[in-house]
Amino acid sequence: MAWIVRLLKSSLGAKYVMAITGIGLYLFLVGHVAGNLLLYFGQDAMNAYALGLRHLPYGLLWIARIGLVIFFGSHITAATYLTLGNQAARPVAYQSKRFMKASFASRTMPMSGFIVFLFLLYHLAHYTWRVVAFTGERVDSLGRDDVYSMVVAGFQQPLISGLYIVAMLVLGVHLHHGLSSLFQTLGLNNARYNTFFRRVFPLLGWVVVLAAASIPLSVMSGCIR
């Protein structure tokens, strides 16, 4: 076990954790957003999907939830560990620092990550724990929990929709760097594939966050009601 501790305490070990959990979190995001796009297919499709998730066999829902907590927890722990180390590594700041290559997204990763974390808490409190901006229990005509109407009612409030859209843009910035950076972290840098790593993969984050942001936009514009 000592070798695992040694690996995780090293700078590179913590970076591998960031990259691997980052891939996991991205894949979760893809699944989660894809599921929620069922809102475009109407009340029945959405509510059936929500019910299906809750009745997954073999306790799969809880396995997934625990997995997510571990992934988020490790990602945030490693991020904090590395970021504190980075701040300590330059105790006296430059008075005139100018960047030549480092992108805006790459320089703001800890901040964009932190905003996403705050949003995550809000999102859970909103639709999972239903303790903020909750508009009352609803059931549909088949007696199912009416997730569809809950989400529509939620996003009919411009302030809440705005918050979700901004949060998705921030996540897009985070993933813009993250989905490219993780390959370098895992040692993948090859002239053959660098166009994908540096130009194509950052777009994969935008596809997902824009799809997610389209939901509050569609509710507000009346496409989904």
Partner 1 sequence: MDLTLHVWRQKNGKDSGRLATYKAKNVSPDSSFLEMLDIVNQELIEKGEDAIAFDHDCREGICGSCSMVINGKAHGGQKGTTACQLHMRSFKDGDEIVIEPWRAKAFPVVKDLVVDRGAFDRIIQSGGFVSVSTGGVPDANATPVAKTSADFAMDAAECIGCGACVASCKNASAMLFVGAKVSHFANLPQGQPERMRRVLNMVEQMDAEGFGNCTNQFECEAACPKQISVRVIAQMNRDYLKASLTHEEAVPKT
C-beta nearest to ligand HEM: residue: 113
- Is residue 97 close enough to count as binding partner 1 by CB under 8 A? yes
CB closer to partner 1 out of 87 and 221: 87
- Is residue 26 close enough to count as binding ligand HEM by CB under 6 A? yes
CB closer to partner 1 out of 91 and 136: 91
CB closer to ligand HEM out of 68 and 220: 68
With CA atoms as reference, report the closest residue to 105 among 201, 189, 21. 201
Out of 14, 25, 147, 209, the only residue in the binding site for ligand HEM (CB under 6 A) is 25
- Is residue 106 close enough to count as binding ligand HEM by CB under 6 A? yes
Out of 36, 47, 161, 181, the only residue in the binding site for ligand HEM (CB under 6 A) is 181
Report the alpha-carbon angle 135-137-140, nearest 5: 115
Distance CA 210, CA 168 (A): 7
Q: The tokens of 38 are what? A: 């069922």
Number of H helices, E strands in the chain: 10, 0
117 binds, among ligand HEM, partner 1, none (CB under 5 to 8 A by kind): ligand HEM
Distance CA 23, CA 195 (A): 19
Cβ proximity of 107 and 99 under 8 Å: yes
- Is residue 49 close enough to count as binding ligand HEM by CB under 6 A? no
Task: Considering only residues 149 through 178, tell me which ones interact with ligand HEM, judged by CB under 6 A.
Answer: 174-175, 178
Binding residues (CB under 8 A) for partner 1: these are 2-3, 6-7, 10-16, 82, 85-86, 88-103, 106-107, 109, 177, 180-181, 184-189
